[in-house]
């Protein structure tokens, strides 16, 4: 149906090049010629401010080819496929963002998408800067007017692209272009997971973006010289270690300028060694032996690439080296970034590293999606200004024990739960009881987020219910509706197995008349923001149960807290700060801590881990076939063994399982006391003031972008 708010800007377009080759001009300047050319065309979406006269522009990009790229001769001769080939190659860049990249074609398309967004945006930014500048353009002022924030490693190519434009199109020197780029660009790290710390095949980038490879090699050379200046060449073993960890180019020979330094260092080292030998009056044959040892030492420090390993470009290292600031997105995550992920870089440039805890907007995540709760907040705080100034939410804490507020709060929650029940009936066909506890885990399906821990806990609960009489069940268990939602990446087989498992458990449990409304399990299809706007206001318990130290921040945890939803979780990501703000008594905590994880994995590798009997019991129950004919050996097998890819319970589901079950028992206990539960819910909303995106953006503006944030009237 199109998008009425999206305005095509055919008057704003920029060329984006792929493939081709690099040649040197008569003046020595490099030119990137030939190859495949597409046009990036702007599409604008106006973003109005909340109760202000300010509107900013969100500029998006589509791709097409210039008319001259259409092969009219091929079309006239009937070869229509050939005639349209260039058009289709350009258009497929925008079909699906980041499709499966298992194949070379998939990887190539993903890289094209990343580069298109970087190149078009930077060309547009530079054109705007030039329009607003007086002649001659003062490029040294560019970082004072422009901030480029790399949101994870996907836009890393903006570093070599900005340098390319400044060098090749604007005629700046390498020194000027490198300095401007480093002062303009900053990097937000979002994860400690290897798949997000992108590595690209050097060969693929060389084919697709040959000029950028030249620039990346120059940046790598700059970085190596910085490392040598910091650590020297006396301790070559230390230098080898640092270069292996920190270089942008992985498994690639050293530049000539670096080899020259190392060669001189080794010659000097050899002379010193011989003089020392002479002083000790060693025999000639001992001197020869000494020289032989020195030759052997040389081999150790030649940094020859391993022909068996691929040559790669490490994008995260390029981000850190090419920018002036690096931040994590929660306090614990930023510490992990400094102490583990980029520890060598932190030692080299400690001033670069910062924390900026994520935030979410209260305009959407309370005011818009939860009007019933919004009215209550406005009534009890005495103002609607909390929508712009979330610190006002703190005042709710003063009334947390007030019976009138608690009554209104519970009624608003129930109305939202009725909406959720209606939504679930429409989308899944399952009928659920709005008087049951609504227990929700909605987020990307990933093993580290541990949807598997959640569903295995539900399976254990179901098994215990089946072993009890009806009266025992009702006395022992609080009725629950367990809701899952989220998407698995196209080629992530294990994540898809988990989704399949959840739906199979739901099909069995939801049709078990013995259990009835005591337990329901629902997987919501096609989860997105609109679905979240329905589920979050009606949620009572929210699960944020990732393996400690693996979730950078999370933002759904903030959205749930804003809506008075109590959380069960580990000390991971923003959970740590949420627990601090809402109060330790208002957060259900379980599981191993981040600093323990490495030791626990090592313990597992040594075969010392002893699984809790309840964990073995639940795996056996799954394998018994109670949830249908699908073979879950692969899924359960990932939780077994002591080593190997896809085994050994890398995400510590088995380790945290008993702690999780005991914490869930506590949840049931507290839920029975609705007055206590409601107070906890109110205090969660009151404590969520810190997680407004307004606050986060102001911190970025002040600390990273170097501008004083302006609060408009």
Give me 569's structure tokens.
């979780």
- Of the candidates 170, 199, 282, 444, the residue annotated as catalytic is 444
| CA 430 to mean position of chain CA atoms | 33
* Calpha distance 568→454 (Å, rounded): 11
Which residues share a beta bridge with 568?
543, 588
Nearest to 456 by CA among 409, 511, 521: 521
- Of the candidates 110, 112, 182, 190, the residue annotated as catalytic is 190
Burial of 1 (0-12, 13-18, 19+ CB in 10 A): exposed
Compute the C-alpha angle 518/523/529, nearest 5°: 125
What is the four-CA torsion angle of 564, 47, 124, 111, rounded to 10 degrees?
40
* Calpha distance 123→681 (Å, rounded): 48
Catalytic residue status for 383: no
Give me 505's structure tokens.
């458990």
β-pairing verdict for 353-355 and 326-328: parallel
Asked if 247 contacts 314 with a C-beta cutoff of 8 angstroms, the reply is yes
Catalytic residue status for 363: no
Give me 710's structure tokens.
């302006």
Asked if 590 contacts 568 with a C-beta cutoff of 8 angstroms, the reply is yes
Catalytic residue status for 54: no
* Calpha distance 586→677 (Å, rounded): 9
| CA 227 to mean position of chain CA atoms | 28
Nearest to 658 by CA among 502, 452, 453: 453
Catalytic residue status for 559: yes
* Calpha distance 73→542 (Å, rounded): 62
Nearest to 439 by CA among 477, 412, 470, 475: 477
- Please count the other Cβ atoms lying within 10 Å of the Cβ belonging to residue 121: 20
* Calpha distance 485→499 (Å, rounded): 9
**H or E element, residue 606:** none
Nearest to 188 by CA among 219, 149, 227, 159: 149
Burial of 456 (0-12, 13-18, 19+ CB in 10 A): buried
Nearest to 477 by CA among 667, 660, 681: 667
- Of the candidates 480, 559, 601, 604, the residue annotated as catalytic is 559
- Of the candidates 212, 356, 449, 579, the residue annotated as catalytic is 449
Give me 244's structure tokens.
């292996």
- Please count the other Cβ atoms lying within 10 Å of the Cβ belonging to residue 416: 26
- Of the candidates 555, 623, 676, 706, the residue annotated as catalytic is 555
Asked if 301 contacts 261 with a C-beta cutoff of 8 angstroms, the reply is no
Cis peptide upstream of residue 136 (ω within 30 degrees of 0): yes
Sheet containing 199-201: which strands, arranged edge to edge? 199-201, 312-314, 249-250
Catalytic residue status for 449: yes
The answer for residues whose C-beta is within 8 angstroms of residue 656's C-beta and 6 or more apart is: 450, 453, 545, 547, 570, 590, 591, 592
Catalytic residue status for 190: yes
Sequential DSSP letters for 67-86: GGGS-HHHHHTT-HHHHHHH
Sequential DSSP letters for 494-533: HHHHHHHHHHHHHHHHTT-TTTGGGEEEEEESS--HHHHH
Asked if 52 contacts 712 with a C-beta cutoff of 8 angstroms, the reply is yes
What amino acid positions are annotated as catalytic residues? 190, 443-444, 449, 555, 559
């Amino acid at each position: 149906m199109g998008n009425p708010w999206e305005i095509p800007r055919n008057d704003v377009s920029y060329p984006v090049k792929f493939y081709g080759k690099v040649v040197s001009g008569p003046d020595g300047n490099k030119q990137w010629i030939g190859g495949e050319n597409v046009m990036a065309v702007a599409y604008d979406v106006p973003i109005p401010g909340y109760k202000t006269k300010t509107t900013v522009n969100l500029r998006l990009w589509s791709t097409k080819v210039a008319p001259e790229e259409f092969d009219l001769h091929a079309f006239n001769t009937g070869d229509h496929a050939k005639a349209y080939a260039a058009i289709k190659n350009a258009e497929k860049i925008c079909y699906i963002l980041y499709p499966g990249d298992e194949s070379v074609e998939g990887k190539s398309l993903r890289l094209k998408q990343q580069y298109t967004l970087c190149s078009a945006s930077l060309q547009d930014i530079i054109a705007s800067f030039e329009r607003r500048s007086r002649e001659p353009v003062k490029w040294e002022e560019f970082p004072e007017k422009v901030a480029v924030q790399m949101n994870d490693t996907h836009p890393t190519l903006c570093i070599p692209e900005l340098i390319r434009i400044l060098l090749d199109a604007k005629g700046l020197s390498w020194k000027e272009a490198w300095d401007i780029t480093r002062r303009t660009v900053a990097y937000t790290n979002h994860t400690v997971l290897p798949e997000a710390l992108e590595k690209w095949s050097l060969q693929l980038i060389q084919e697709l973006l040959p000029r950028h490879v030249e620039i990346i090699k120059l940046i790598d050379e700059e970085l190596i010289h910085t490392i040598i200046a910091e650590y020297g060449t006396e301790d070559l073993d230390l230098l080898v270690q640092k270069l292996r960890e920190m270089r942008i180019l992985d498994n690639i020979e050293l530049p000539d300028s670096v080899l020259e330094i190392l060669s001189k260092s080794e010659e000097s080292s050899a002379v010193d060694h011989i003089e020392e030998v002479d002083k000790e009056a060693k025999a000639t044959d001992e001197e020869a032996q000494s020289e032989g040892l020195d030759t052997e030492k040389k081999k150790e420090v030649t940094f020859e690439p391993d022909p068996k390993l691929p040559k790669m470009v490490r994008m995260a290292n390029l981000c850190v080296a090419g920018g002036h600031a690096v931040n994590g997105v929660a306090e614990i995550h930023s510490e992990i970034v400094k102490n583990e992920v980029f520890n060598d870089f932190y030692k080299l440039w400690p001033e670069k590293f910062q924390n900026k805890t994520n935030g979410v907007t209260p305009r959407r995540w309370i005011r818009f999606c939860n009007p019933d709760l919004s009215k209550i907040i406005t009534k009890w705080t005495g103002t609607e200004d909390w929508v712009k100034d979330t610190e006002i939410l703190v005042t709710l804490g003063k009334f947390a024990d007030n019976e009138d507020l608690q009554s209104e709060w519970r009624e608003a929650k129930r109305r939202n739960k009725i909406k959720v029940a209606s939504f679930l009936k429409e989308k899944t066909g399952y009928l659920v009881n709005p008087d049951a506890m609504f227990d929700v885990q909605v987020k990307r399906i990933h093993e580290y987020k541990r949807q598997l821990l959640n569903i295995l806990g539900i399976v254990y609960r179901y098994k215990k219910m089946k072993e009890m009489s009806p009266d025992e069940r009702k006395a022992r268990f609080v009725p629950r509706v367990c809701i899952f939602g989220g998407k698995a990446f196209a080629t992530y087989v294990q994540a898809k197995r988990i989704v399949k498992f959840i739906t199979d458990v739901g099909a069995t449990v939801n049709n078990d008349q013995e259990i009835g409304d005591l337990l329901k399990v629902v997987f919501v299809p096609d989860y997105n923001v609109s679905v979240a706007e329905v589920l979050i206001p009606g949620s009572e318990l929210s699960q944020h149960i990732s393996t400690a130290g693996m979730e950078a921040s999370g933002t759904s945890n903030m959205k749930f807290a804003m809506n008075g939803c109590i959380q069960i979780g580990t000390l991971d990501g923003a959970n740590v700060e949420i627990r601090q703000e809402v109060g330790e008594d208002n957060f259900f905590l379980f599981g191993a801590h981040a600093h323990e994880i490495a030791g626990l994995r090592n313990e597992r590798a040594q075969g010392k881990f002893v699984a809790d009997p309840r964990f073995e019991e639940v795996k056996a129950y799954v394998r018994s076939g109670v949830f249908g004919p699908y073979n879950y050996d692969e899924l359960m097998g990932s939780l077994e063994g002591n080593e190997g890819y896809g085994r050994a319970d890398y995400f510590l589901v088995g380790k945290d399982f008993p702690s999780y079950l005991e914490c869930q028992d506590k949840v049931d206990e507290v839920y029975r006391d609705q007055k206590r539960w409601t107070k906890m819910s109110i205090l969660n909303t009151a404590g969520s003031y810190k997680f407004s995106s307004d606050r986060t953006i102001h911190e970025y503006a002040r600390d990273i972008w170097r501008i004083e944030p302006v609060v408009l009237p």
